[in-house]
Structure 1
Amino acid sequence: MFFHSPSHGDMETEVFIAGSGPIGATFAKMLVDAGHRVIMAEIGAADSFTSKPRVDSPSAAGHSDEYSVTFAPNQVVVPGYHKKNEIEYQKDIDRFVNVIKGALSTVSVPTSNVNVATLDPASFQNTKEKPFISLGKNPAQNPFSNLGAEAVTRGVGGMTTHWTCATPRLCTDIERPILDTNPDTNNTLWDELYDEAEKIIGTSRTEFEKSIRHNLVLRTYQNIYKDKPAEEQHTFLPLPLACHRMPDPDYVEWHATDRILETLFTDDKKKQLFTLLTNHRCTRVIPKHFRAGEENEIEAAEVKCLLPHAEDRTNSTFHIRAKVYIVACGSVATAQVLANSNVPKDFQPPKNKDPRDLIIDTKLMPNLGTYITEQPMTFCQVVLDANLINSVPENPFDLGSWWDKKVNDHREHNPEDPIPIPFRDPEPQVTIPFSKERPWHVQIHRDAFSYGGVAENIDTRLIVDYRWFGYVEPQERNKVVFQQLYEDAYGMPQPTFHFEMSEDDRRRARDMMADMCSVALKIGGYLPGSEPQFMTPGLALHLAGTVRAGLDEETTVANTYSQVHKFPNLYVGGNGVIETGFGANPTLTSLCYAIRSANSIIEKLKPEPKA
């Protein structure tokens, strides 16, 4: 069951989870499946739904009082659905760009005192000494050390409501973290976790195997590079994606958090164990004491309903008491909640100091927010070569009758179309995996991001997107800190980034750009306006390391089971736990950590054997 703004005082449960993205959802699913009561708080709303059949007792058609969503007999609403599954975006992917833009909130926006010379002279203006700080702007943020495009999505499902669904495994040589010091044991552990994570999120590598565009790009590249010398070799493979092909083979259903949460809403028995509070902010978890370095535990989570009904306003802040607390609300917000938890409620910040210099001391949880990593990113778009397009009717890779049928059917129904590719032919989804020789992750496809939309007068069947994602080495100096006196738009301590790439990081980024240009020009020419470019730092949205987990307590926040050091009942989840630099998409790896952690919690919550 889930509530928008219930009338309640303090609550009790076995497990409290802050955050409803795929990681929080994985914790919830595994713990509820094991028979434990879970309360989950989500700072945003449930704004995307799908309907699924009930598992147990059927019910008549009805509606949800909270959301006024009508559903069919024996159907229930499950939140956290991928918004790209809506038919309007299946038909026109470029329109989805604006959905992504609307879902993202930039984390740290520096203030600006630029003079607006053309403003009405009588209007109120900012000044050099006092620039405007409203709308979440951050006076403490140095623009030269910012991750200027780092953003978050608030709402049930988090970024999986608009993500690209790419779920690669991290490379063993550089990217993959260490769970065990024995390399063979470590790889075995990761392989087992990856297998389970792929089942949970529904990873596939075959959903685009009958796409003309996909095969045109994939097989052309494989043919181009097969005879290259070893130092020039590239491995081109289908990109692993969390999706499945629908009965209409031109469409896929993109997987998101609803897939993980499904049985917690459709199974009547599990529903009784699960409560989802939307528009509820987890402000902090409350430790028993504030003595750094000593064993501690969490006594309660402080939660605030952000949209209370009139009768609830005096009771909008309350406590949830549990045996186990899990904070999994994104790389930034997870560290933000924990940083706020380091501040006693009666704390008074020192006076007569520059407020920009006042940051929260996280001495209860050393290394919180340090060693952060993000991904330098290059991007371009290419219009496919005319010879390549003209070869399509010849079935150049001899892929069988399905290819010929698609081409002939399209020509028969659209004789005036100069492009021999069906209008609804699925897009290419190709990758070059991260490797020691080429330490970057590659996606060659046609998808929607917060950038790279194509003008309406360009036929998108001819366009291929190139995205190269690099990695940076974790460095202690790279960090996100939280201000004592400045708040973000949700009333939490304002995050401030201090991030700088090393000399090696910058060199790899240039090599990565050169590689992208070389590959892209093999099959087409640059789309005007989308020539090769480095993207704003943070735009990959793969921030990690904020609550890093690992074997070395001196450089991490949590152990390899994601339990925060010195706090036996506090766990963290999300991309922030990954301690290594990486170029590939991190969600699958974060799911692995959640699986490992949830199994540990389930073992911990087992009742003591009777004497």
Structure 2
Amino acid sequence: MTRNDVDVLIVGSGPIGSTFARTISDLAPTLRILMVEGGPQITDPPGRHVKTLSDPAQLDQAQIASQGANSNKYEMRTPTANTAAEGGRPPVVARPGTYLLGGEEVEFTDDGMPAAAMSTNVGGMGAHWTCACPTLGDGERPDVLPRAEFDALFADAWRLLQVTQSAFESTSFGGAIRASLAQTLGDILPEGRGVQAMPLAVSVRDGNRYWTGTDIILDSIAERGHFELRAETLLLRVLHEDGNARGARLRDRRTGEEYEVSARVVVIAADSFRTPQLLFASGVRPPALGRYLNDHPQAIGLARVRDEMIPPEVRAHRVPGQLDGLSGVNWIPYSRDEFPYHVQVMQLDASPVPLDGLDEPVPGSLVGIGIFGCKELQADDRVAFDEHDLDADGLPVPRIHYTLTAADRATLEGMVRTIDKLAAGLGGLVAGRPPVILPSGSSLHYMGTTRMGATDDGTSVCDTNSAVWGTRNLYVGGNGVIPTPTAGNPTAASVALAIRSARHIVTELASRGSDTATAEHPALSDCR
């Protein structure tokens, strides 16, 4: 397309930005959509999930290219030390494909968010995520939308992400793992929220698993001729006047050239730190901007499965570079009143948290237990900015203020007890490895900084269509929009909210009419 006057400018190429692009293009194929991404293209096709790369050297290259200025290959480390008996806490180190806001190594602290991390690449976190898409329970769903409407949007998100619960249905002993978990918990779980396979954004092709990246979300919209993705292109600020967004000033990071793009609608779907950063840099500063920062309290444990649970056919060596179908990824859903945690129990080579230095005598005999809880929301938990504190790109530096409340610490204590209980049912914790409370930020699920609200009362940044209060034609997307505390992985919920917003944008543009491409589209009463 290569033009600088468009109908919709989307900032950020991750799952949420890609959802906006795909939904808008499907509904109105002639709308001109420009997507800009500050990072490089790391895969072909653009946005491919790195788990689909079978060449280890290609995987390393893609991950390192996503780490901003940090060109180090991270060593696989386990955050095992949370007691003084182990000689103090080790520094926090980012996972491969991400980089810490605080630098390459950050001190492990109780308050603050030492593990806060980002990726900068085409596809964003969609190139690195676990692809877990659990349904949300009571108390987790956005409370500003009717439940039936949100559930319908969530189902649409599942379809777009190609979510399935059968990606590991042929696992050798996944059923045995689930049966053990269910027996341990007894009958406390409500109907429909029992132990089950984790819903994953994965398609199974000829027996192989293809993990959903933004290549899957975008599909073939580039072939329609009205969509362009510009990598290594940085948004400097949104251009607006008289309360109307009209475009943006961009910088080509390869050449240093700065230029302006005019747009009828601007969507910022960077992430929960950079979306408020870009709004602040643009002078768009609702009172709640950056506030209500929310991350899951998280703990992990490692269990050694009882020998009798392991079928004879899996007693063989793994194939290097492949994710074998052994026990798979299993799930205990969050239930606010009965079981207020979200639990993932997965075979070791599927775990997103590196667990190094371990002897796994039989493939699948070690399983990771990851448990998440809900954070108590506080307005003072925030990412803050200062006009005079700028980074190398001239953008305000994100400074995080974050504390755990007494309720949060009680949640963490309950999570550790739950890991002990679940592990005992499976066969016991690995000797010398007690459950570990991870530093805040470890989940990579940052929410709330551009939260959605029903009214412009100073406690939200956008309305229920994700339109920013006080600036027309400007929308936000991503986990930052979620206004409620959640324990489950938030990506599918954010995709659901982005679908709703994208449908609204098409309706708005069509209803206005103009001499541009959107004049071909009558007002849409139902964009579904």
TM range (shorter): 0.7 to 0.9
Alignment of 1:211-610 (within 5 A): 211-226=171-186, 235-247=194-206, 249=207, 251-265=208-222, 267=223, 270=224, 272-288=225-241, 296-308=243-255, 313=256, 316-342=257-283, 364-389=285-310, 392-393=311-312, 407=313, 424-436=324-336, 437-446=338-347, 447-453=350-356, 455=358, 459-488=362-391, 490-528=393-431, 530-554=433-457, 555-608=459-512
8 Å Cα contact 1:441-1:470 kept in structure 2:
yes
CA distance in 2, matches of 1:487, 1:458: 51
Q: 2:127 aligns with which of 137, 143, 161?
A: 161
Q: Kindly, what percent of the aligned residue pairs are identical?
A: 29
- 1:442 is matched by which residue type in structure 2? V
CA distance in 2, matches of 1:468, 1:457: 22
- 2:139 is matched by which residue type in structure 1? I
1:381 Cα deviation after fit: 1.2
Gaps of 5+ in 1: 3-9, 50-77, 110-134, 181-185, 290-295, 343-361, 394-406
8 Å Cα contact 2:177-2:327 kept in structure 1:
no
Deviations 1:59-91 (A, max 9, x none): xxxxxxxxxxxxxxxxxxx310011112257xx
Alpha carbons of structure 1 residues 102 and 386: separation in structure 2 relative to 1, 3 Å: closer
1:428 Cα deviation after fit: 2.1
8 Å Cα contact 2:326-2:364 kept in structure 1:
no
8 Å Cα contact 1:108-1:146 kept in structure 2:
no
CA distance in 1, matches of 2:188, 2:512: 62
CA distance in 1, matches of 2:361, 2:100: 30
8 Å Cα contact 1:80-1:256 kept in structure 2:
yes
Deviations 1:217-239 (A, max 9, x none): 1123334545x5789x9831111
The residue aligned with 1:79 is: 46
CA distance in 2, matches of 1:229, 1:477: 35
Q: 2:24 aligns with which of 13, 18, 31?
A: 31
- 2:307 is matched by which residue type in structure 1? A
8 Å Cα contact 1:452-1:530 kept in structure 2:
no
1:383 Cα deviation after fit: 1.5
1:338 Cα deviation after fit: 0.5
8 Å Cα contact 1:20-1:158 kept in structure 2:
yes
CA distance in 2, matches of 1:546, 1:229: 34
8 Å Cα contact 2:202-2:209 kept in structure 1:
yes
SS for the counterpart of 1:25 is helix
1:448 Cα deviation after fit: 3.6
Deviations 1:351-391 (A, max 9, x none): xxxxxxxxxxx6x42210011111110001112112323xx
Q: Which moved more, 1:503-512 or 1:520-529?
A: 520-529
Gaps of 5+ in 2: 64-73, 77-93, 514-518, 523-528
Alpha carbons of structure 1 residues 30 and 155: separation in structure 2 relative to 1, 3 Å: same
- 1:189 is matched by which residue type in structure 2? E
Alpha carbons of structure 1 residues 306 and 470: separation in structure 2 relative to 1, 3 Å: same
CA distance in 2, matches of 1:40, 1:189: 28
- 1:285 is matched by which residue type in structure 2? V
Alpha carbons of structure 1 residues 150 and 32: separation in structure 2 relative to 1, 3 Å: same
SS for the counterpart of 1:497 is strand
Alpha carbons of structure 1 residues 229 and 28: separation in structure 2 relative to 1, 3 Å: closer
- 2:122 is matched by which residue type in structure 1? V
Q: For the pair shown, which has the larger CA radius of gyration, 1 or 2?
A: 1
The residue aligned with 2:40 is: 45
Deviations 1:91-118 (A, max 9, x none): x99x998698331111235xxxxxxxxx
Alpha carbons of structure 1 residues 28 and 493: separation in structure 2 relative to 1, 3 Å: same
1:569 Cα deviation after fit: 0.4
Alpha carbons of structure 1 residues 496 and 510: separation in structure 2 relative to 1, 3 Å: same
1:262 Cα deviation after fit: 1.8
Q: TM-score, length-normalised on structure 2?
A: 0.83
CA distance in 2, matches of 1:450, 1:335: 28
* Structural RMSD (CA): 3.1
Alpha carbons of structure 1 residues 377 and 143: separation in structure 2 relative to 1, 3 Å: closer
SS for the counterpart of 1:282 is strand
8 Å Cα contact 1:473-1:580 kept in structure 2:
no
The residue aligned with 2:11 is: 18
SS for the counterpart of 1:169 is coil
- 1:320 is matched by which residue type in structure 2? V
SS for the counterpart of 1:431 is strand
1:463 Cα deviation after fit: 1.1
Deviations 1:20-68 (A, max 9, x none): 001000111122221210111100011022xxxxxxxxxxxxxxxxxxx
Q: TM-score, length-normalised on structure 1?
A: 0.72
**Number of equivalent positions:** 476
The residue aligned with 1:101 is: 95
